[in-house]
Amino acid sequence: MGSAIPGLAPDRTAIMAVVNITPDSFSDGGRITSVAQAVDTCGAHLQGGAHVLDIGGQSTRPGAVEMGPAVEMERVVPVIQAVRQQLGPEPVLSVDTFWAAVAEAALQAGVNWVNDVSGGNHDPAMLPLVARRRCPYVLMHRRGDSRTMDAMAHYEDVVGEVEAALLRQTATAQAAGVEPWQLLWDPGLGFAKTTHHNLTLLRHLSRLTHHGYPLLVGPSRKRFIGAVLEQPDPCRRSWGTAATVCKAIAGGAAVVRIHDVKAMAQVATMADALWRSPQAGSSPDEPQPQAAN
């Protein structure tokens, strides 16, 4: 599964760049204030090593006020259109939304993927749309919404419960007509999870990759990194993010969703050499380990 998804490749981890067209995102809200600025940011991310640009117009941080689909469309559709006009058809674009109407408008404007933090639970029209449009779909685990998820971070077995929920959501998606090849899984780091839950999920990603769906992991700048580092400023969590990117790749992630594209692309390239391809980086004259007798 996953071979038909644009932006993915078997020999490297895909870098998904966060492009927030929002005034209130947790780490970079309000940084992009115009379509031209958004296009410049997308171009810089591509030059920095991004393989997918994830464009979103609704903050999903804890406590965020939910915008309706009309506001989201006003924010993201002009950016998508401008990126296609100025950067061409080659960049792989994703829309970060849980509204089917926004996803439909974004697909018509030229996006390739739909990235839904609700896993199809927010808008009943989303899964039928994805089935009809046959686009890649990131199915994420989350409990509640931005206002309620912190109060729902209670698990007996966080890995097993996230795994079971993703399997249920996958069955629901397939019952709606979504094909297995369209799906990527996201364990939803930071969404209805404590620091302990997030670290536990990162330690046991192989439980999720075992099912064969490409795994997207989004640890970038998140609160649990700040808790471990005692760093309240999200923009100063790059080294912690780098460690989580390495752990995600070692655990089999196919995609990492990040803010600091150029730096984390280098981290991912090195991590790929260490974990994705055992022989990567070795010279022809370097002795190779011998099999045990």
- Picking from 116, 94, 113, 93, the residue whose alpha carbon sits closest to that of residue 169 is 116
> Which residue among the candidates 222, 237, 247, 276 is catalytic per the annotation?
222
Known catalytic membership, residue 75? no
Separation of CA 243 from chain center: 17
Q: Token pair of 224, please?
A: 């649990």
Q: Which of 191, 112, 177, 111 is nearest to 149 (CA)?
A: 191
Q: Which residues have C-beta within 8 Å of that of residue 161, sequence separation ≥ 6? A: 155
CA atoms of 238 and 43, how far apart (whole Å): 21
CA–CA separation, 54 vs 93, rounded Å?
6
Tell me if residue 74 falls in helix, strand or coil. Answer: helix
| DSSP-assigned beta bridge partners for residue 258 | 17
Rounded to an integer, what is the distance from CA 192 to the centroid of its chain?
A: 16
Residues 83 and 91 sit within 8 Å (Cβ to Cβ): yes
Q: Is 193 a catalytic residue?
A: no
Query: Which of left, alpha, beta for 50 (phi over 0: left; psi -120 to 50: alpha)?
Result: beta
In the set 193, 223, 237, 257, the catalytic residue is 257
Q: Quick check: 183 and 137 in contact, CB under 8 A?
A: yes
Active-site positions read 222, 257
